[in-house]
Structure 1
Amino acid sequence: MNNHGGKMKILAVDDNRTNLHILQVFLNRLGHEVVLAENGVEAVERFAAEQPDLILLDIMMPIMDGFEAARRIKAMNQERWTPVIFLSALNREENLVEGLDAGADDYLAKPINFIVLEAKLRSMQRSLALQQTSGDALERIRAISNSVLDAIVTLDESGTVIAGNRASERIFGWSTTELVGCNIDLLLPEPQASEHDSFLQRHLGGDNALGANREVIAQRRDGQRFPATLGVTEATLDNQRILVGVIRDISQQKAAEQKLRENARLLQAYYDQTQNEQQLAAQLMEMQLHRAGLKDPRLHYMVIPAASFSGDIIAAARSNHRFYALLADATGHGLTAAISMLPVLTLFYRMAKLDFPVRDIIGELNQQLKESMPVGRFVAATLLCLDEERRHGEIWIGGTPEAFLFDRWGRCTRSFPSANLPLGILPSDEINCTPVELNWEPESQLILCSDGLLEATDATGRQFGSAGISAAAANIAPAQRFQQIESALARHLAGALAADDMSLMVIDCL
């Protein structure tokens, strides 16, 4: 290993500089030397230049992804084992299989559990130390035994040992003096020892019973059995047929293979556990998200998650002649963001059912999030209540993009800016819970969306923006307006994956 005192040189590869910085600080704290790369091409170049002991490799990167980088590094590194640990938010079975096929030795899902990472590093460090010890021993043997790596034992036709090299002494524990004159069955366990003479005679008779380059079980002087590979060649010396056996102790190789199998088993178990947990979480979220209010005929909506779970939620409910709607966007993506929404949904549906005013609902939501969310976590939200008999409503926006009121001809007659902080940042007595009032003409529509929709970029980097909504809504009948915006967004993305959770809500105001 390229290290002193048991520490390693580690190549960390991630296209996110924040992730790289966190990894660098963590690894430096453990005493390791860290080499950084921001994509697959840089990773291959840094590997060739720095020859690290271990690689922490992200999968999803620009220019060259982690799979291709791993394949190229493994192709460059035939003589020395350099462990590759994949770091990725992708946790589907096909990603795991592709990673192992690309040469990965281990896998760690994002967000990184640094306790697990430290344990994996220690495990790899022990394996590398074992590899280094083995390599150093082999170098000494080469120097002492004229570059001979394996045990070489020479037999006569009766199976009697006539010569052995120093490697045979090291491997079997018998000195050459003790071995010469003894039958080769001394180096074999039962039942192979009792059967060896018949195998030998069959081989000499032309049956090639012993074969070449095959795995066998050998036995040391102390009776310990170990796996080995055996290659047999035949020669004639002084008109006497002799057999030369080359024996290689593969105990460490087998132990390494077993370790890899164990790592793969643990990795599979970890993956299965994660899948089960995500399925349970998905069922819980499904029960919370899909309420009857979302089937209201005057509501049209879509939610496109950037990960397995969406940090955006849409909720709707009716109380007497009032219609309540909520569009919320939690910090982050995936399961963590989705879980943040559970108290929001519970409070919204309970208070909407009891016909609470917008001011009170905002205050309760904010206080609940302030008391339960960690620092740095918050929820941007748009909440509205429409009295359809009076054609009068209230809307409160905190952190989410502005909302729009379109008339029957698709003209934006009013916009409602985001004038408040997201929920969960300040105590409720320090925020403005007062909503903005609104009125509308028949066949109007309110349009709400998350910032992920406005910031969705096409292949040229151009954002969809509020201009994309206005262009899609213009001169379109209210009944077709939601589908027109949805189609315009799909054309804008042109099949590209969402970089952030995207949500859209169109509400008919009769």
Structure 2
Amino acid sequence: MTQKEIKMRKLCMTGPPQVDKKIAPSTGRGRALVVDDDITNRFVLSEFLSASGYEIIEAENGKQAIKCYMEQHPDIIFMDVMMPVMDGLESSRQIKSMANREFVPIIFLTAMTDSDTITRCTEAGGDDFLSKPINIIQLQAKIHSMERIRDVHREIAALHNEIYHEQQIAEHIFTYVITRGNADIEHIYTLQRPAELFSGDMLLTDFTPSRDIHILLADFTGHGLSAALGALPVSEVFHAMSAKGYGIDEILNSINKKLYQLLPTNMFMAAQYISISNNLEYITVCNCGMPNILLLDNKGSTIKARLTSRGIPLGIDPDFDFSKICEPCDIKQGDRIILSSDGIIEATNIRGEQFGECRFEQSLISAKNENDRSSFLNNVAHIFDEFCQGGIQKDDVSLIEIPCIPENIPYRIQQPILDVERDETHALAKTDDISISDNSSEISLLFNGYCLKNVDPVPLVINHINQMTNTDVPHQDMFVILSELYTNALDHGVLNLDSALKSSANGFENYFAERKQRLDALDRGQIQLTLRIRFHKTGGQFNIIFEDSGPGFDYKQFLDGKIYGSSFSGRGIYLIRQLCESVTYFEPGNRVEAIYLWGNQ
């Protein structure tokens, strides 16, 4: 070293020039980036750091520093403040931005010690600073301090990565458990983006035995793992009760009580629940604390209905009656139902503006595509992403499109042909072959008053049949038969409703509104169900008898198949006749017996 260099070194640094033995040269301390436009300052500091065990990288200005950081990833940076081309403040901002969550300590070197300079250094991302001329003792202490902080950050990052990996495994299993019971419905399109690995939004789908579609979009409080914990019990109740044919109000009542018992007081579940009738003529909707459910026409150009929230989220009030807020809505084939969580309308851009309901609806209409249904949500997602570009996602985002098309309803029974010829002799022969000795059972139930208003007995009867018989019994057929016969007895017998209401404008909405009004006012009436079950080795026979207190009806016109077709009357009777060996009405039409055979007769 020349005399001039020694003199410069003394001018730049105070304290003993020798290296402290406590930080004697070692290996593995990493790379140090020294950024200074003064070659002497760089040389002196580099010599000290090299002797301390660092691999040295040098830069003359802030722009070079950024390039060195990108190419060589230093472990610690010593940054001068005032430099040509790019100063240390701007360089530090960009390096900290590129480092993201990785902690790369930056120590500013400056001859200015005023509070304004220190503040600007801190705001630019500086982790510490040293005033010139540099005191080697202070430098050693700050290096040790930054290394300890850096090591803690790396340890935390390693633990975070380990936890994240474990959560990935847990999320995979969790998602499988939640969704494995979902019905395989090809034409349901989804856009789901969790704010964290675990999503607080949940989509459940299933068929009832009558092939109605049940769809539940749930949004738990918050997001992440804590928000997802309530999903398991909800999924279990949803699939179990849908499979047994319960209505959405009864399913929601059960889920509500379950969540009230399980969730802490600060958690609840908002929900959009729809049931699509198997004939694609109406939907039943329950919206609890969620954005509007939208019904679009088959071209996606018009919003036909906005089904608003009418109830509180689930898990708050265990006694809330969801039957009071379920509402019917007429649909036509090709209509589209849009479900969404509040993560869409409440999403913000970098200016803090919300996406909002108005912009959301406009994006749906502008994204219409008559020829390619699958691209519909892709177009909406493009508009949404353009708006939110640069914004931070704070909540889970879910958007569901359900086209009301026959392909989504896998009919077990094809549309009946009106002039079906039945082999009554063969049917009677089958009946005679069945043993009716001791291998039989009978159920008799009487429904009146509260039961007629509030209880759907069909799932209860199906459950009893499940316990009494083996899995060979076609429970779906039994559900359809019992549901149709009970509905006819209640609606057209006890309540004396006219099916002609369904053929008017908004027919099903008017029909169900009148039905609810008559049920609320009901103070008398009853329905008697008698179910006889006879078994043999390879099957058996059900005799299903319904008798109601109504005045009866002209059943002969329905039995000869003349009414069924475009009419809304008689469809249930004709469907039952396709399933049963015989359907017999007794005068004046308020008593019916259906015989159903199963197995090898």
Query: Which TM-score applies when normalising by structure 2?
Result: 0.41
Task: Give TM-score scaled by structure 1 length.
Answer: 0.48
Larger radius of gyration: 2
